[in-house]
Amino acid sequence: MLSAAGAAGLSTVAAPMVRELPRDGLALVLLLDLGHMTVHTIPDREIVVVDFLVAAGRDTQTAVNVFSRKFGVAEARPGRTIDRG
């Protein structure tokens, strides 16, 4: 998470928090200077979900690309962007 956030130019304010979930999954939260980044793993479905709450104009796709390379992801689907005004 730290390398993905750094590659995207996102400043962290604390170390990631990690919690084990039922069925071997993980939930991770990284607090950022102006938002947060979360990761949820669902091993039995081979899914990793990455979520960002960041200021407009931040390059979250770079962070997703870092995750994709490190996990050897075969397919990465873009999510949606919501402008909270």
User: Using one digit for the tens of pLDDT, what is the confidence trace for 20-37?
Assistant: 998 889 999 999 998 999
pLDDT digits (tens, 9 = 90+) for 44-82: 988 888 899 888 888 888 988 888 888 888 888 877 777
Domain 2-71, CATH: 3.60.90.10
Only one residue has tokens 């950022």, namely 32
Position 11 confidence tier, pLDDT thresholds 50, 70, 90: very high
Domain boundaries defined on the chain: 2-71
Token readout for 36 is 């947060």
CA atoms within 13 A on the CB side of 74: 2
The pTM of the full predicted model, rounded to 2 decimals, is: 0.83
> 85 pLDDT band (50/70/90 cuts)?
low
